[in-house]
A and B are shown apart, each in its own frame.
Chain A
Amino acid sequence: MTKTRLSELAKTIRSKNAGTDKITFDIIFREREAYETVKRSGAVSRDAMARLFGIDEARITDFVEYDPAYAIKFTILRRRPSGSPGDPDIFGAQQYAPLLDVEVETA
């Protein structure tokens, strides 16, 4: 059984605000093969993401496998609207980092 880090398989792994109350995560692959491998592995699923970020699954409002772009995308509700005092990431642009090390079964 071979495991590969998601950061080695994906072209782009990013997070960004989707409006004032949500942060959306995009994992985009260059080739269909890597995309299908990750989809099959189950390493990036709704419940795996809830566990990775330590949040209730109900906070994940959307989870989509988007074939035209070889991409997996999910969106979470923020605990408070972007830019409220105490929010350290107004753009939501640095929330993706834990995804980089997710291990994917590749063989």
Chain B
Amino acid sequence: MDSLKIICPNGHLGFAPLKVESFRLGVAAKPDFIAADSGSDDIGPVPLGSDGCASPKAWQEHDLEQMLLASREIGVPMIVGSAGDTGSDSRVDMYVQIIRDLAARHGLAPFKLGWFYSEVDKETVRAKIASGSPVQGLDARADLDEGELDATDRIVAVAGVHPYRALIEDGCDVIIGGRSSDSAIFAAAALSRGFPEAQAYYLGKVLECASFCAEPYGAKETVLGEITRDWVEVTAMHPGQRCTVASVAGHAMYERSNPFHEHVAGGVLDMTDCRYEQVAEKTTRVTGMRFAPADDFRVKLEGAGKIGERFVGMAGIRDPYTIAHVDEVIEWAREQTRERFGETGWALHYNVFGRDGVMGEMEPLRDRPGHELLIVVQGVAPTREMAEEVAMTGTRQLFYARLPDVKGTAGGVSFVFDEVMPASPGYRWTLNHTMAVDDPLELFPRHTETVGA
């Protein structure tokens, strides 16, 4: 095979629905694979910790239906990675069931469905630490200790190409993956057809966010990637978009600490000496990528742990004197909460929109607040009842804050709601680490079945 084509319709399947027009243009270009990633850690730790989704099921079904019908129509494999935003086992099962249901509803001819899981049991990680193999922290985190492991509710391992290759080489027509490196699902398809690692991983890197590598800006549009032994080309499918040298090279740095290296399970894609060339109006060709295999095989782990139940309140301020003293108002409300609940065992978080709500301490203009402020209050505590009361105290006491020279003594803040609202529980990312494994497949159990009439 001299070249291989893959289309990607969505950079985060389900987060917003794919656009059908450019997807159908991509299908008409006769790709050899249709693939999309569904996961992200951008969505925060709540979906992983609580084993839920960030996206409505209807949007996920929409994209899976488009991809499945196209894949069966033109007879090429379809691959989806990081099922259901997090790739947890329950999300993989949910996607597998959606595929079965879609096959039945559309009366599809039999096809082979394969899937793999990526959740890691806490005891597996504990045993690894006990064996003397440190679970190393990424991004300035310390190595994992047992306390942080105990504080974790759910862990997923981030798969590389290996479980995908195993399922492709097993003849699967539709593959649903657990948590995965975004680029791995595309790279696996290219590697399974014999293309070199450097080009294969670059193909994955450039396709994973779909039309984010094209211009003008427009998300959820299909792009087509083509790989040979020598180069990777990427072409925008939307009639109004182009893949240019600037848009493709610019994409190399998107969401990454630096634009030169992309770490995957088993090695590093080196883009330092990549060359970009406009070879057609909508197509850019990339050459010069390299791949360096790693000495030891380490798998990235993501973990989320619950902090507590959470309620949210909101309060507005218009009085300029109160705005100038907003930190004292907040401290008053905190103090009332301390009097009720003591020093520890609960938390209040205040984001003061109109001053530094978006940027916090990094806001250069925090000494220049707007003429009105919105304070968003989060109360976190072990039980829902206590979280509601913490949030209520932290919000309502803003109304009663005692400022010495305030003119308006009938109430210090405005309320859109004189209540606090239930929110998702508070979670935090507990693991952003890597763990050594002996076998690239050991954390990713695979299954297959024949689906269809």
Q: Which residues of A contact B (CB under 8 A)?
A: 11-12, 16-22, 24, 26, 28, 30, 52-55, 61-62, 64, 66, 68-71, 73, 75, 77, 79-91, 94-95, 97-98
Contacts and interface: CB of A to CB of B under 8 A. Distances in A.
Interface string B252-267: 1111111110000000
Interface of B: 41-46, 138-141, 246, 249-250, 252-260, 274-276, 302, 307, 310, 347, 349-351, 353, 357-365, 376, 378, 380, 426-429, 432
B250 A12 contact: yes
Given A52-B364, A83-B428, A75 B257 contact: yes
B253 A86 contact: no
B259 A69 contact: yes
A99 to B, nearest CB: 10
Contact of A61 (B140, B249, B359, B428): B140
Q: Which of B45, B255, B349, B376 gathers most chain A CB within 10 Å?
A: B255
Given A19-B138, A88-B351, A71 B257 contact: no
A85 B43 contact: no
Contacts of A98: 359, 363-365
Contacts of A21: 138-141, 429, 432
Contacts of B140: 21, 61, 77
A16 B253 CA distance: 11
A85 B378 contact: yes
A87 B44 CA distance: 10
Q: Which 3 A-B pairs have the closest CB atoms?
A: A83-B44, A86-B349, A69-B249
A26 B254 contact: yes
Given A68-B249, A70-B246, A85 B426 contact: yes
Given A21-B429, A61-B257, A91-B42, A53 B364 contact: yes
Contacts of A12: 250
B276 A68 contact: yes
17 contacts: A16-B254, A16-B255, A17-B41, A21-B432, A61-B140, A64-B258, A64-B259, A68-B252, A71-B250, A71-B253, A73-B253, A82-B42, A83-B44, A83-B427, A83-B429, A85-B307, A90-B44
Given A17-B41, A21-B138, A22-B257, A82 B429 contact: yes
Given A21-B140, A82-B429, 5 more contacts: A26-B253, A54-B362, A69-B252, A84-B428, A86-B351
Contacts of B139: 19-22, 61, 77
Given A54-B361, A55-B362, A88-B357, A20 B429 contact: yes
A69 B256 CA distance: 14
A20 B250 contact: no
Contacts of B302: 20
A60 to B, nearest CB: 11
Residue among B274, B363, B428, B432 facing the most chain A CB atoms (10 A cut-off): B428
Contacts of B427: 83-84
